[in-house]
Structure 1
Amino acid sequence: MTKPELEKKIFLHLTKVDFSTSDEMKNIFKCSEYDLMDIIKNNTKTNSEPLGFIIKNDETTPTRYSIEQTNYLTIHNQVENYLKGINGILSLFYRNLSSQSNLLKSDSDKILNLNNKGKTIFDNISLILDRIQQLSFLITYYKSMDKIPKNMISKADEDHEKCLNMYSKIIKKLKSILMKEKINQEVIELYLFKHQFVVNHLNSSI
C-alpha cells in the first residue's frame, strides 16, 4: 500500500469512529509504525499547523486520534485564506528558480543536485502542492458524504475548482522554468512529488 493510499484510508477510518489508537490502525491497515506515525504527524492540528485535520489526545493512554469535527464554512475559509496566502511566497520561489540556475543543476538523469536554498524552495513547493491536494480531498469527501449545506454547494464546487486551478497553475509555471533550464523533468518530479496526496506529474496533461 502506498503512502497516499494509506493516508486516505486513515482519514476515512477516523471519520467513521469517535477515535482510534495507533495500534488499532496498524492492525486494520497492516502498515508499519513509521508510515502510520509519519502520516499522523504530517496531518495533526497544532499551533504551528492550524490546518491539520487530525486531533491528538495524549492525555489518554494509549494516545487517541480523531478527526476534528467542523462545518463546511470552516473548510471554505481555509481554502480562501490558504490559496490567497501562498501567492506571494510562490512568486518569490519562481523568481529564485528563474534567476539562479545553480539551484537546478542535475548530476545525472536520476540525481538532482540542489544547494541548501534550492532544497528549501523545492521542499516548500512540494508541501504547498501537498496541502492543496489535502484541501481538494476534504471538499470531495464532504460532498460525497452529503455534509455540505445546500446553500454552500455552489461554493464547494468553486472551492474545488480553485484548488485544481491553483495546482495546475503551479505545475505549468514549474514546467516553463524547467524547459528554460533544460533540466530533466523526471528528476525534478521524483524530488518534488514525495509528499502524501500528491499524485500528479510534471509531464501530465494538466
Structure 2
Amino acid sequence: MRIERIHEAPAHETAWTVAAYETPVSDRIWVLTATGATPAPVLQELLDHLADGHGWDTAPGAPLDEKTIAAATQPLSDAGWKHTVDGRWIRWTSPAADAGVQFDAFAAQHSNQTLATWTAWAGPKPDHPTWALTASPHTPSSLLADLAENLAHATGTRQRQTTSRERRTRLVTAPSAIPTVPAGPAASRTH
C-alpha cells in the first residue's frame, strides 16, 4: 500500500493517491485518488478503513459483478439516493442533488487497467464538483461502501462558508485534521 500526498495541489486537482500492490514491485491492484478540497471526514474515513487492515474483498482480475456493485452502493440506496442508468453510466444522486456516485461500466470491463471506474463527488454540479474521489475497478467494495456511507449521511458534504479572515485564522490556530509527514528525497517518491 502506498499513499502519496501532494501538498501544493489546487483544490480541484488530485492531492491524494492511494495505491495497492500485491508485492512492492508488482503492478497496481487498485488506485483511489482524492482532490485537494476533499473534506477531512471523508479522508479520515478512507485512512481509518486502510488502517483496519481488512477489506481486500475485491479479487484482482475478477470482473465486477452486480453483487460487488450493490455492496459498494448499499448505503446510498438505504439513504434514498436517486438511482439512474444512462448508457455506460450508473449514477446515484443525493436527494438534494449536491452529491453523487457514478459507476462507469465501460471502465469496469477493462479490469486489467486502472481506469476511474468509480467517481464520488460533492458540490453544486457533477461536472464542476467542489471535491471528487475516483477509484479503479478493484478498489475494495467495503472501502467504497464505507466512503458511500460517509457521503450518504452528508458528513463529507457539509461545508460552512467562511470569510477570508476566518479561514486565515482557522489555518493558523487549528491543528490539521490529517497529520502531515515531511517529504523525503524526491527519488523515494512513488506513483
Scaled by the length of structure 1, the TM-score of the pair is 0.27
Question: More strand by proportion, 1 or 2?
Answer: 2
Structure of greater relative contact order (alpha carbons < 8 Å, 6+ residues apart): 2
Scaled by the length of structure 2, the TM-score of the pair is 0.28
Question: More helix by proportion, 1 or 2?
Answer: 1
The structure with the largest alpha-carbon Rg is 1
